Structure 1
Amino acid sequence: MLLFPYHSQFRLFSCFVNMFYLLSLCVINIVIVNCQYEVPDAKVKVFYPKGFTVSIPDEPGIKLFAFHGKINEEFDGREAGTFARDILKPKNGSWTFVDRFTKLKEGDILYYWTYVDYDDGQHKLGYVKDDQMFEVKDLINPNLPKIDVRYNTHTDSTNNVLFFEDFSSNRLDPNKWIIEQRFADEPDFEFVMYVNRPEVLTKEGNKLKIKPVLSENIFGGGFVNSINGYNFGDNCTSLIGSQSCRRNTGAGFILPPVASSQISTKNKFSFKYGRVEIRAKLPRGDWIYPEIYLEPLHEVYGSGNYKSGRIRIAFSPGNEQMNKILHGGIILGPNNAARDYGDKTIEDMNGYWSENFHTFVLDWQPHGITVSVDNKLYGRIDPPENGFSQLGGSLSIKNADRWRTGSKLAPFDQEMYLVLGVGVGGFNFKDSPSKPWKNGGRNSVSQFYEAKNEWYRTWGESSNLEIDYVRITST
């Protein structure tokens, strides 16, 4: 007996056939294009005092891993998020996103989604894992791994990018930079006060500009002889109450006649060994010079007067004749011999170093240091057989014995941070008949200021230090 009319049985049979067909396709899909692939669960690690990583295990077929995240804020759909980065290759068995600057605390929630480009040999497809979250409960403090990441077109896939800045944001990233607010002090005693003011620190397009100006143009006429002196107060980025934060006038002493800007990654980013690449246009004008160097983070071998060293990436005074020579290398001490020992130079045969943008590169390795410009190597500094400490006597370096406690490269074997700025005058110029002050002289700042009519007429729009980008990689 038929329970259904013939046409009903036929339709039911057809339904079963169609279902079987669809299931067969799905099975085939599983075999051929792995339609059941799922993005692996991510592992999150949060570090103290700052930084975190998000990683998935490396598996055959994964070609790219992307991370998108927000802190304490859920996503509104599949948006990019606060953190958005593509990881191009695995490292040590994992695809890992690394953030070195964000400070997280217990109770914070990381909302995120991940993406994987997966290739099974026949098809390359993208897969997403949405609606993930991680609550911070434990902070750990190992060294952050060095991971290759894509920041933008300036990255080099052959190296691990540790730090990158192209100044494309509307303001300096406070997670990367501090803007100095203090008086210049040792070891160079430049005639400058560093301020956070638009007159000296600006952004135009995707370039950062630092320009020295007369301090009286900012603080008013007669500022250099102000009877009240000047105190940066709580805004000072140096030791509160020190000479770097407060200055008085009188007895021949005046306040710095020049205001400028200096930014650094101190306590934001530091590293030990790597390659620093900076594209910049150097400033022009008498007694002006760029401050583009690495400074020791902890001053393990002593503080002040280069006791723990300094590495110059690019230095060229803005005076007409001096501006033909570019300097780079190391400084071992405050006296001329210790400054000159590791100073490498190259002459611009076509003009001045301030006329065009150039790419300055420092390669800092455990065995030595090199400096280059526009892909041309012009200086190599290798430590003596027994290290730089053996130069103490010949270079009159009083603290050189302390370097014996480090490696052969000491004092350049410790973490360092980047400094960018513009200085004027001070000990970076050797005494000469053309120089209007004498290094170490009690009235050197006043002498410099009294010669203002001579040097200030050489300043202008070309007195800017313009910085296009900064990239630091491990090598």
Structure 2
Amino acid sequence: MLLKLLAFLWCSFVVTQAQYEVPDAKVEVFSPKGFSVSIPDHDGIRLFAFHGKINEELTGREAGTFSEDILKPKNGWWTFHAPYQKLQPGDKIYYWTYVEHLGRGYPKDDQMYEVTELIPKPTSSPTRPTVTTSPPVAPIVTSKPVGETGYSSCQSTPTKFNNGKGTCKGKLLYSHGFSSQVIEKYWTVAQQFAGSPDYEFVIYVNRPETIQIVNRKLKMKPVLSEDIYGSGFVTGDFNLGENCTGTTGSLDCVVRPDGGFILPPVLSSQISTKRKFSFKYGTIEIKAKLPKGDWIYPELYLNSANEDYGPGYGSGQIRIAFAPGNSDLNQMLQGGIILGDSVAAKSYGMKTVQKQTGWSNEYHTFKVTWKPESIILAVDGKTYGTIYPPSDGFVSLSSNLQIKDAHRWRSGTTLAPFDKEMYITLGVGVGGFNFEDRTDGSKPWRNGARSSMKDFYNAREQWSSTWNSDNALDIALVKVWAL
């Protein structure tokens, strides 16, 4: 009898799960501009995502021109709004939607809406439809929902995530805008002194002056330490105490000036998904506006989740996008891989693309497709570089590129160290080893010098005049797909 009851309950659960389908979206196009895409609220929905393009078909589940996660309903509807898009009869909206329902994800692919009329823009949201709670009488849907095992026709993929979990080809693994809840659940805000391997002139802190969420976008910006903590701060002691996210008692958390060494003259912010989300092989896409200002740069990285091959660059780093904020350097966008600390190891795997007006003037979409055999870099839908390992693997480059401890990579694939799970890092750095030394004196410090931070601080009248409201890194969206 007990076995029959358990079987009945299991079958009831499977039927209940199988019955859910993403509702058809309600599309409304307004005069003189704007459109919305909505689905009615039902018990169990936790997220509604919209991805679309105007008059251009989507390639699979790409992010699209419009890409947003809606985290809560309003007046009984989950609604995506595009208030400034102007449309006219005959235009077509190509889109796909995605719903998280009872802990599982359900996509609705290959949708299209053709504009036939424009309606007056409403003054309030539509009224919630009446939803019956009685059992449905429609035939049972046989397709399976998206879960860790994927669709009913789940195709295999080399992608793994969160310590080796399997998934399905094309599965959306991470897709969230920014809110305090999202930050708390998926990200850790760094509170520590910067150090190896880049030795930025920064203390990463969690303060409203350096990190904010505005209209679901993440804004991070550097500020002068003494503007927050007062004149003379750089020559005193500073202990982050129990708030430190680094190793307690180490230079991550407490630093004392000594001789030519001072405290970092800059406060900034950095967040990461370390120990909360990581993946191996897949596509990551970040829509962001990069920061301006001398010696400021974006930190859009993938770092090793477990440092399997050693600390720092010993386990490699993938740079999703890098462009210094200096006016004479901002025309060059870089992306690629870092194999070690030497100049050669930093430059070997970097690809570049130039833009005459600079890369920090507007939003761009940066993408990395990380495969077992290659790493592909793109910006705004255009590929600008592909990195392949040598036939004997990156380890074969260790002598020429002066890479220490690269022998550890021999235990991996030819792509090692880029064959282990990595987590996402987002932040703003200033100074440090990310700028090569110059002979013309325009760079006010020398890499590796004990006085480098002090020299940078003493030259603040030269560079701080370029710091303004444009020195923020604005991030609108982060998405990760399985291959």
TM-score (norm 1): 0.71
Q: Return the offset for 1:119.
A: 5.2
Using the TM superposition, give the Cα deviation of residue 321 of structure 1 relative to its aligned residue in structure 2, in angstroms: 1.2
Is 1:182 the equivalent of 2:182?
Answer: no
What residue in structure 2 maps to residue 398 of structure 1? 404
User: CA 1:260–1:408 in structure 2 vs 1: closer, same or farther (change >3 Å)?
Assistant: same
Is contact 2:176-2:182 (8 Å) kept?
A: no
Q: Indicate conservation of the 8 Å contact 2:44/2:102, yes or no.
A: no
Contact 2:163 2:278 in 1 (8 A): no
Match of 1:303 in 2: 311
Task: Specify the alignment match of 1:219 in structure 2.
Answer: 229
C-alpha distance in 2 between matches for 1:115 and 1:434: 73
Question: Are 1:268 and 2:279 counterparts?
Answer: no
Deviation at 1:219, TM superposition (A): 1.3
Change (3 A) 1:270 1:120: closer
Percent of aligned positions that are identical: 47
Distance 1:421 1:39, change over 3 A: same
**2:202 corresponds to 1:163:** no
Aligned to 1:449, which of 444, 447, 457? 457
Match of 1:288 among 273, 296, 304: 296
- 1:201 and 2:208 correspond: no
Q: How many residues align?
A: 361
**Cα contact 1:257–1:449 (8 A) shared by 2:** yes
Q: Where does 1:312-461 land on structure 2 (aligned, <5 Å)?
A: 312-349=319-356, 351-432=357-438, 433-461=441-469
How far is 1:467 from its partner?
Answer: 0.3
The one-letter code of the counterpart of 1:42 is F
Residue 242 (structure 2) aligns with: 234
Which whole-Å CA distance do the structure 1 matches of 2:431 and 2:267 have between them?
12
Instruction: Show the counterpart of 1:31.
Output: none
Give a deviation string over 1:225-273, Cα, whole Å, max 9, x none.
11xx111111111111111111001211111000000000000100111
1:419 aligns to what SS in structure 2?
strand
Distance 1:199 1:63 in 2: 44
**Maintained 8 Å contact 1:180/1:196:** yes
Q: Contact conserved, 1:188 with 1:427, CA < 8 A, in 2?
A: yes
Measured at CA, do residues 142 and 345 of structure 1 come closer, stay the same or move farther in structure 2, by a change above 3 Å?
closer
Amino acid at match of 1:438: R
* Secondary structure in structure 1 of the residue aligned to 2:183: coil
CA contact (8 A) 1:261 1:421 kept: yes
Paired amino acid for 2:391: E
Closer, same or farther: CA 116–438 of 1 in aligned 2, 3 Å: farther
- Matched position secondary structure for 2:365: strand
Q: Note the C-alpha offset of 1:142.
A: 9.0
Matches of 1:116 and 1:397 in 2, distance apart? Answer: 63
Q: Give the 5 Å matches for 1:238-253.
A: 238-253=246-261
Partner Cα separation in structure 2 for residue 56 and residue 291 of structure 1: 41
Give the distance between the partners of 1:388 and 1:341, measured in 2 at CA. Answer: 11
- The letter for the 1-side match of 2:418 is F
**Residues 361 and 372, structure 1, Cα contact 8 Å, conserved in 2:** yes
CA distance in structure 2 between the partners assigned to 1:366 and 1:117 by the alignment: 47
**Map 1:88-107 → 2, pairs under 5 A:** 97-98=103-104
**Letter matched to residue 411 of structure 2:** T
Match of 2:80 in 1: none
Distance in structure 2 (CA, Å) of the matches to 1:281 and 1:392: 35
User: 1:254–1:457: structure 2 CA closer, same or farther, 3 Å change rule?
Assistant: same
Q: Distance in 1 between matches of 2:479 and 2:307?
A: 24
Give RMSD over aligned pairs.
Answer: 3.1
CA distance in 1, matches of 2:239, 2:453: 18
Q: Which amino acid aligns with 2:296?
A: I
1:146 alignment counterpart: 167
* Secondary structure at the counterpart of residue 407 of structure 2: helix
Which position in structure 2 is the counterpart of 1:155?
none
Query: Measured at CA, do residues 293 and 56 of structure 1 come closer, stay the same or move farther in structure 2, by a change above 3 Å?
Result: same
The whole-number CA distance in structure 2 between the counterparts of 1:407 and 1:170 is: 39
2:398 aligned partner, one-letter code = G
**1:135 counterpart residue number:** none
Q: CA deviation at 1:83?
A: 3.8
Give 1:84 shift. Answer: 5.2
* 8 Å contact kept, 1:281–1:356: yes
Q: Is contact 2:45-2:102 (8 Å) kept? A: no
Q: Does 1:41 align with 2:20?
A: no
Gaps of 5+ in 1: 1-37, 44-53, 67-77, 90-94, 100-112, 125-140, 149-158
Supply the distance in 1 between the matched residues of 2:282 and 2:395 (Cα, whole angstroms).
Answer: 23
Cα deviation, residue 96, structure 1: 9.1
**Are 1:295 and 1:417, in contact at CA under 8 Å, matched by a contact in 2?**
yes
Question: How big is the shift at 1:41?
Answer: 2.7
Which structure: larger Rg?
1
Task: Look up the match of 1:6.
Answer: none
The letter for the 1-side match of 2:369 is D
The TM-score normalised by the length of structure 2 is 0.70
CA contact (8 A) 1:96 1:147 kept: no
**Partner SS state of residue 386, structure 1:** coil
